[in-house]
């Protein structure tokens, strides 16, 4: 825990020294920038592929990521029900670049969301998944810099998100032919 706080205080000590970095981090940690960017990358993947087979592979990866996100949200909700950790700004004097969220700091929900989506894609599309993992890392590291999460919060959240997407990746094929039926139904209305 001492290392956790030390890393937080060290990172947050840079706030106010480089205004351009503070502005960039403020944008990166906003509730809209990274999640929307990740979602747009998934929209792009949904339509990419030079053949129907390639496109279907991408669409199944998007499904993995979406189901993984659902699992991760469920896991975080259950954990928050049993464990509450105050935000770092409650216990320490920090320079905040973000509003003060009232919910539990542990585990970080944005980290769970970001890593669930990125891992779901990375399992079958390494390059795009790598870009998404980098974005998820920026989002979550930025939250530590901005003073709203401890490092252990984002590590735990990221691990939960990644694990949930790995589970979804293994789980969805077990539901066949369900996913294929859904995909074919979407094809009939030009959504896939």
Partner 1 sequence: MLLLFFEYLAFAFLASMGAIQLAVSLSGLRGLWLTPWPGANRAVGALLIGGSAWWFFASGDRATPFPLLEGSQQGGTFLFAAIVATWATVFLIPLVSRAWRRRAPAAPPTGSRGLESLRARSYWPRSYRGDDRGG
Binding site for partner 1 (CB under 8 A): 26-27, 29-33, 35-36, 39-41, 43-50, 52, 55, 73, 97-99, 101, 109, 113, 184, 186-188, 190-192
Smallest gap from residue 119 Cβ to partner 1 (A): 17
CB of residue 41 to partner 1, shortest distance in Å: 8
Q: Considering the complex, state which of residue 6 and residue 74 has its C-beta at the smaller distance from partner 1.
A: 74
Contact 15, 147 (CB under 8 A): yes
Task: Name the minimum Å distance from CB 170 to partner 1.
Answer: 23
CB count in 10 Å sphere of residue 25: 22
In angstroms, give the least distance from the CB of 2 to partner 1.
30
Q: At 180, list the tokens.
A: 């294929």
Distance CA 15, CA 17 (A): 6
Q: Give whichever of 7 and 95 is closer to partner 1, judged by the CB atom.
A: 95
- 11 vs 25, 56, 138, 141, 144, CA distance in Å? 12, 42, 13, 9, 7
């Amino acid at each position: 825990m001492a290392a956790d706080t030390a890393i937080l205080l060290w990172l947050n000590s840079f706030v106010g020294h480089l205004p351009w970095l503070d502005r960039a981090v403020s944008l990166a940690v906003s509730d809209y920038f990274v999640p929307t960017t990740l979602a747009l990358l998934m929209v792009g993947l949904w339509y990419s592929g030079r053949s129907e087979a390639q496109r279907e592979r991408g669409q199944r990866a998007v499904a993995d990521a979406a189901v993984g996100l659902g699992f991760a949200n469920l896991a975080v909700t259950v954990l928050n029900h049993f464990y509450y950790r105050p935000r770092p700004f409650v216990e320490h004097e920090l320079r905040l670049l973000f509003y003060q969220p009232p919910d539990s700091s542990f585990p970080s929900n944005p980290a769970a969301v970001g890593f669930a989506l990125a891992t779901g894609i990375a399992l079958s599309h390494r390059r795009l998944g790598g870009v998404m993992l980098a974005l998820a890392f920026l989002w979550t590291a930025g939250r530590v810099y901005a003073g709203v999460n401890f490092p252990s919060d984002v590590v735990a959240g990221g691990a939960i998100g990644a694990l949930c997407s790995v589970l979804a990746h293994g789980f969805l094929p077990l539901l066949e032919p369900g996913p294929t039926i859904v995909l074919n139904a979407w094809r009939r209305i030009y959504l896939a």
